[in-house]
Amino acid sequence: MRFYGAIVVALLIANAAFAAEIPQAERRSGHSFMKPDTRAMQDEETANPGMLWVLDGETLWKRKLGAANKACADCHGDARTSMKGVAARYPAYDKATGRPIDLEQRVNSCRSNHQQATPLPYESRELLALTAFVARQSQGTAIETGDDPELAPFIAKGRELYMQRQGQLNLACANCHDDNWDKKLAGSAITQGHPTGYPLYRLEWQSLGSLQRRLRACITGIRAQAYDYGAPELVELELYLMSRARGMPMEAPGVRP
């Protein structure tokens, strides 16, 4: 009995030590974990509630505002061509701040610098609409985030956070999303945590939400103190997750249960 106990302990230690990253060929979008009816809801443009935000975003794209009285379209023209593949490269390195910024922060930096308008809060209808509209233009495009060598130290920091056990449950992101993605948590699929469809519509939220909202909800779930919206740690985590999903096709706005 003691012998078997020792084997179990040894296996547990081995498991913890060699918690492997998911091989490239085994990577799966959260889409593939869903029931067929939820998948159908995402796949059909007129059934995907996220498309309501995309429609709103298209209107906002053309709306002149701020002291500069400029619309997004006045600089960027037709989003169908100018924004194609853009969301698939975010978070991206921002020379001005010397840090990675996510799509939400890019929209807000454009608003403050070029439109001379007030930045939009995270999860506001307008910001979600604009990011959903921009991300939609990359539908089917392979994720390229992390190409820029300047990003390497920030990806490493994001990875560190992903591997770091934290909170009262003492769990790292990796404990669920690398080690146990083929299992269930309270009846729900755990998934591999590839952010291919953000901003996405969660049926539970009854709304569109950003990747940061998802991350904050996960962090609260492991009973840790969530970082504030826009915190550098969250952006680094977004960056790591997107670089981890490199090559997977964008599917924003996704639908999840």
Partner 1 sequence: MASALINVPAKAKRGDIIEIKTLMSHIMETGYRHTASGEVVPRNIITSFTCRFNGTEIFRADLFPAIAANPFFTFFTTATESGKFEFEWTGDRGFSETASASITVE
| Residues marked as catalytic | 218
Q: What are phi and psi of 216, to 5 degrees?
A: -65, -40
Nearer to partner 1 among residue 56 and residue 102 (C-beta): 56
What does the block give as tokens for 139? 């539908």
Q: Is residue 49 near partner 1 by the rule CB under 8 A? A: yes
Nearer to partner 1 among residue 125 and residue 246 (C-beta): 125
Residue with tokens 């504030």: 228
Minimum distance between the CB of residue 48 and partner 1, rounded to whole angstroms?
8
Query: Looking at 20, 23, 46, 186, which residue binds partner 1 (CB under 8 A)?
Result: 46
Binding mask 70-109 for partner 1 (x = CB under 8 A): ----------------------------------------
What does the block give as tokens for 206? 């009854």
Q: Is residue 52 near partner 1 by the rule CB under 8 A? A: yes
Q: Is residue 40 near partner 1 by the rule CB under 8 A? A: no
Q: Output DSSP code: residue 178.
A: T
CA atoms within 13 A on the CB side of 139: 16
**Three-state DSSP state, 92:** strand
Minimum distance between the CB of residue 149 and partner 1, rounded to whole angstroms?
41
Q: Is residue 65 near partner 1 by the rule CB under 8 A? A: no
Residue with tokens 């991300």: 135
Nearer to partner 1 among residue 56 and residue 104 (C-beta): 56
Cis peptide before 257 (omega within 30 of 0): no
**Three-state DSSP state, 256:** strand
Instruction: State how far the Cα of 82 lies from the Cα of 73, in Å rounded to an integer.
Output: 10
Instruction: State how far the Cα of 139 lies from the Cα of 134, in Å rounded to an integer.
Output: 10
Query: Looking at 94, 167, 207, 224, which residue binds partner 1 (CB under 8 A)?
Result: 207
Instruction: State how far the Cα of 68 lies from the Cα of 110, in Å rounded to an integer.
Output: 11
Binding window for partner 1 (CB under 8 A); candidates: 39-47, 131-139, 191-199, 222-230: 39-47
Minimum distance between the CB of residue 207 and partner 1, rounded to whole angstroms?
7
Residues that bind partner 1 (CB under 8 A): 44-47, 49, 51-52, 55-56, 59, 125, 129, 203, 206-207
